[in-house]
Amino acid sequence: VSAGMVAMIHDNTQLPLIDIVGIELALGRKHKLGYKKK
């Protein structure tokens, strides 16, 4: 069973990085997502 995840976390002052996140999250690998609001 495979699962993919796409996360969109941003506010009005930050550009959405949805494309980059989608590319970096490859199936079958473990990833750690971090988010800091400035």
* Ordered per-residue pLDDT tens for the chain, 38 residues: 666 666 655 555 555 555 555 555 555 566 566 666 66
Contact 16/9 with Cβ under 8 angstroms?
Answer: no
Continuous H helices in the chain? 18-24
Q: Which of 17, 16, 21 is nearest to 33 (CA)?
A: 21
DSSP character for 13?
T
The pLDDT, as a whole number, for residue 38 is 66
Whole-model pTM? 0.16
Residues 24, 34 contacting (CB under 8 angstroms):
no
Question: CB–CB of 38/12 below 8 Å?
Answer: no
